[in-house]
Chains A and B, each alone.
Chain A
């Protein structure tokens, strides 16, 4: 397919902006924003909530969900789980509506053509909508399928993402918020980075809140192991001002996610013992990551929690990619004093225990 793939449900990632968040979800538009700032993000496309809505409507799944959820009382764990099972079963046997499937296939083919690979492996992720989409990610409404190949598998992965909206955690979460309207969700389909190393980076020290530091966790293979806390990663604290490594602690890194042997999906394997103790980042990689972190922070104007991956092929900085970025919401308060500091001299007086308690006139 040579002409740009079109359709009402999807959009190329680079075409998305913050204002598209209500339709595509924060994660999708975040990637669009990154691309607009020339941050290297693996190419791909996003599906809007209309695709999800069409799917739910076509197989009458809305009613299935409504009816399954109606008798569930908030806090009833067993009933919630039962309703979740029922909805998931219905969703997994329902086909994607024809127009959704066709558009998805066309966009996937286009992605394949641009990558020059047949049935390229992609990552399929959910993209939650709503003001609380940040919290929603912690409420289990986040599904990621890695190393997905071929249209059929992509369709199934998208459906899995949608289904995660009705996970027991997600149901309870919405119930706790008193959310009565029907939920909605977007999805992202992105070329896979064949990652040699990947991890997470904060553009501040998430523990101390120091804005002059970049904190990096890195491990072998795909990012899942670090994000999921399945390994003790290499841990770096690097000065944003000088690039100096302020702290370096190598982790055990005993397992890693790699593409499955059959080419479909990712699997967890042991890291060979000698490799576990090796640092997985070198100076060039660190420098490229720090630079990326600074650019992402500058673009969003706030501290960011960035998932990144370094491809096996290529050299830094060309092979370093951002796969996701979201604002850091948990910076310790002490670096944001409620009162601005007084003058320099008043601070010096404070050092000597002579904080100005009386004004000049009173003296």
Chain B
């Protein structure tokens, strides 16, 4: 790979990014098509690529690449092949030093665009017209999918097949069942991603149009007012935290709140609770709440690292500690639903009245449409990204356990260091040697690969990816890039301007207010429990799943995110200033550093150099 090429445009050439020391050969764990290859250089070097830190903030484990391929297969299918969004096909991705860069494929031929517009109008029109009915069907599809995943068995490889195989002829042999289950497991993930993107583009599009109409007639309207007018009242994603608040109250009422001391692990708290009758009945109540509300993920779900609250209760327990503390301090912790409704109507009426007659009609219709689509935009996360995905990763863990039992890998978790294709190969050899009784090579082959990749991931994690590579576009016109990632022309220009650093970061003003405080940089969910009262959360992108810890923090700063991010709405609800989409907060800010977050102006200022 050449490293002498000068930077093209405002960003480094993807072909000139140096490999961090000791990370040579990092490409080996990824698909051949997933890297910047010399054979594609001419086109790839002249495109605009940005780091998708919203979905992929840390280096990709080999298996997790499936959560790049599958969603991009799905989003491209809907966007390009089903709805035929006129100016935009799908999204290409490339991996650089383990990090995921993406770039949209535009449609530029006017005739092609016109041809696609015909498809789009008819097909998208159908969805908008029948949205509520179609969304009802979607919910049924997702329920069925989650149920099927739950029922999917990962067979053991017994020494002797059971009698059903031999005598009843109604069961296949284990070799077939293992391979079948693995194949089905991967296909279920594809189905989930297919469902995931069925409504998403159209949902975001309707909302983005409303935002645009608001801004063209009310150029100074704060983003959060638009979000407030649209945001749902009975939002499913707020249910888990609402249940935690209820449990916090219950703990105080039944006198078991003493167990929830700051710094205690969930296990220590449980042990303490189990000692008393009241504590045990509180734990019983908690069990009731877990299905389904603990199917929240501890992050945005695209990595196997993000477990559900069921697997890792550190977030809900941290939230319980926070809620109990707030209640003891006499604060109101309930989401003021009535107030939110009143405010939402007040804003809609107030702004509507300021528009001219000709605009008011379409504006009201668009507001109504945005409200219709919004439940999907918010709720799909719970069903797809959290509930399904956390359970799916666990299903993959079962295959990991199978491989580990037979010595192909040392630990079940090692499966994530192998690509899905390598796992298929390993399973092939496993069932082959199980069947033949021969001596498997796998136990000598895979552990070394796993060890090297673990080391690579650790080294690559210390590398800071630039926000963008390749040619800086004159203008970002791809509606998907703007809607889904908040990557606008201004944002790209800002990234280009700030390549040299400085003590200010600019982003989108997502939630008003100005706060100074100590930063807590959280790169992965494992660090969430470290967040202390009064700190400012600095992260790649906040997930709604983190909402419960919002009662502990005083402001939020993210690398990526736009006006539609759910996190922005949550921040506003909690009254926390937020600046999103800074591009580089997690790389420029260090834990312990004092920063000022101006959520009204969209500026983060580093006030000292930290320790």
- Contacts A212-B351, A246-B600 given; indicate if A349 touches B121 (C-beta within 8 A): yes
> Min CB distance, B104 to chain A, in Å?
12
Q: Does B213 contact A (CB under 8 A)?
A: yes
Q: Does B462 contact A (CB under 8 A)?
A: no
State whether B86 touches A353 (Cβ < 8 A). yes
- Name A249's closest neighbour in chain B (CB-CB): B601
State whether B213 touches A354 (Cβ < 8 A). no
Q: Does B88 contact A (CB under 8 A)?
A: yes
The 8 Å CB contact of A244, one of B121, B222, B369, is B222
- Cβ contacts A184-210/B at 8 Å (1 or 0 each): 000000000000000000000100111
B83 partner residues in chain A, CB cutoff 8 A = 352
State whether A354 touches B225 (Cβ < 8 A). no
CB within 8 Å of A: which B204-239 residues: 205-206, 208-209, 212-213, 216-222, 225
> Min CB distance, B115 to chain A, in Å?
11
Q: Does A342 contact B (CB under 8 A)?
A: yes
Cα A236 to Cα B225 with chains together (Å): 18
CB within 8 Å of B: which A328-363 residues: 334-337, 340-345, 347-358, 363
Q: Does A96 contact B (CB under 8 A)?
A: no
Q: Does B318 contact A (CB under 8 A)?
A: no
> Min CB distance, B197 to chain A, in Å?
14
State whether A354 touches B86 (Cβ < 8 A). yes
Q: Does B20 contact A (CB under 8 A)?
A: no
Cα A358 to Cα B116 with chains together (Å): 12
Q: Does A211 contact B (CB under 8 A)?
A: yes
State whether A353 touches B113 (Cβ < 8 A). yes
Q: Does B24 contact A (CB under 8 A)?
A: no
A342 partner residues in chain B, CB cutoff 8 A = 362
- Contacts A341-B359, A352-B85 given; indicate if A335 touches B217 (C-beta within 8 A): yes
Q: Does B347 contact A (CB under 8 A)?
A: yes
- Contacts A246-B600, A340-B359, A349-B120 given; indicate if A205 touches B85 (C-beta within 8 A): no
The 8 Å CB contact of A344, one of B85, B118, B124, B365, is B365
> Min CB distance, A278 to chain B, in Å?
18
- Cβ contacts B314-357/A at 8 Å (1 or 0 each): 00000000000000000000000000000000110011001110
CB within 8 Å of A: which B595-610 residues: 600-601
- Name B114's closest neighbour in chain A (CB-CB): A357
> Min CB distance, B106 to chain A, in Å?
10
State whether A341 touches B362 (Cβ < 8 A). yes
Cα A10 to Cα B358 with chains together (Å): 45
- Name B217's closest neighbour in chain A (CB-CB): A335
The 8 Å CB contact of B213, one of A205, A210, A347, is A347
> Min CB distance, B492 to chain A, in Å?
19
Q: Does B71 contact A (CB under 8 A)?
A: no
Cα A344 to Cα B206 with chains together (Å): 9
- Name B221's closest neighbour in chain A (CB-CB): A212
State whether A356 touches B218 (Cβ < 8 A). no
- Of the candidates B88, B206, B209, B346, the one having the most CB atoms from chain A within 10 angstroms of its own CB is B209
The 8 Å CB contact of B212, one of A209, A351, A355, is A351
Cα A206 to Cα B225 with chains together (Å): 21
A347 partner residues in chain B, CB cutoff 8 A = 209, 212-213, 362, 366
Cα A217 to Cα B564 with chains together (Å): 33
Q: Does B577 contact A (CB under 8 A)?
A: no
A2 partner residues in chain B, CB cutoff 8 A = none
Q: Does B269 contact A (CB under 8 A)?
A: no
- Cβ contacts B358-384/A at 8 Å (1 or 0 each): 110011011011000000000000000
Cα A209 to Cα B355 with chains together (Å): 12
State whether A348 touches B113 (Cβ < 8 A). no
The 8 Å CB contact of A208, one of B125, B220, B355, is B220
State whether B225 touches A241 (Cβ < 8 A). yes
Q: Does A91 contact B (CB under 8 A)?
A: no
> Min CB distance, B113 to chain A, in Å?
7
State whether B88 touches A353 (Cβ < 8 A). yes
Please give the number of chain A residues whose Cβ is less than 8 angstroms from any Cβ of chain B in the complex. 38
Cα A205 to Cα B206 with chains together (Å): 27
The 8 Å CB contact of A212, one of B118, B212, B213, B218, is B218
- Name A340's closest neighbour in chain B (CB-CB): B358
Q: Does B87 contact A (CB under 8 A)?
A: yes
State whether A237 touches B220 (Cβ < 8 A). yes
Q: Does A19 contact B (CB under 8 A)?
A: no
State whether A334 touches B216 (Cβ < 8 A). yes
Q: Does A240 contact B (CB under 8 A)?
A: yes
CB within 8 Å of B: which A108-140 residues: none
Q: Does B512 contact A (CB under 8 A)?
A: yes
- Name A205's closest neighbour in chain B (CB-CB): B220
State whether B118 touches A352 (Cβ < 8 A). no
The 8 Å CB contact of B222, one of A239, A336, A343, A345, is A239
State whether B218 touches A210 (Cβ < 8 A). yes
- Name A363's closest neighbour in chain B (CB-CB): B118
Cα A349 to Cα B369 with chains together (Å): 13
- Contacts A350-B209, A353-B88, A353-B113 given; indicate if A345 touches B221 (C-beta within 8 A): no
State whether B354 touches A241 (Cβ < 8 A). yes
B346 partner residues in chain A, CB cutoff 8 A = 241-242
CB within 8 Å of B: which A44-68 residues: none
A345 partner residues in chain B, CB cutoff 8 A = 125, 128, 365, 369
Cα A208 to Cα B216 with chains together (Å): 10
> Min CB distance, A280 to chain B, in Å?
20
State whether A354 touches B85 (Cβ < 8 A). yes
- Contacts A239-B222, A241-B225 given; indicate if A343 touches B362 (C-beta within 8 A): yes
A363 partner residues in chain B, CB cutoff 8 A = 118, 122
State whether B87 touches A353 (Cβ < 8 A). yes
B116 partner residues in chain A, CB cutoff 8 A = 354
A154 partner residues in chain B, CB cutoff 8 A = none
- Name B482's closest neighbour in chain A (CB-CB): A351
Q: Does A213 contact B (CB under 8 A)?
A: yes
16 intermolecular pairs with C-beta atoms under 8 Å apart: A205-B220, A239-B221, A239-B225, A335-B219, A337-B216, A340-B359, A341-B213, A341-B362, A343-B365, A345-B369, A347-B212, A352-B120, A352-B124, A353-B88, A353-B113, A354-B116
A-contacting residues of B (Cβ < 8 Å)? 83, 85-88, 113-114, 116-118, 120-122, 124-125, 128, 205-206, 208-209, 212-213, 216-222, 225, 346-347, 350-351, 354-356, 358-359, 362-363, 365-366, 368-369, 479, 512, 600-601
**Knowing that A239-B221, A345-B369 are A-B contacts, what are 8 other residue pairs whose CB atoms are under 8 Å apart, sorted by A's residue number?**
A209-B219, A210-B220, A212-B354, A241-B350, A345-B128, A349-B117, A350-B209, A354-B120
Please name the 4 residue pairs, one residue from A and one from B, whose CB atoms are nearest each other, closest first. A340-B358, A344-B365, A241-B350, A353-B87
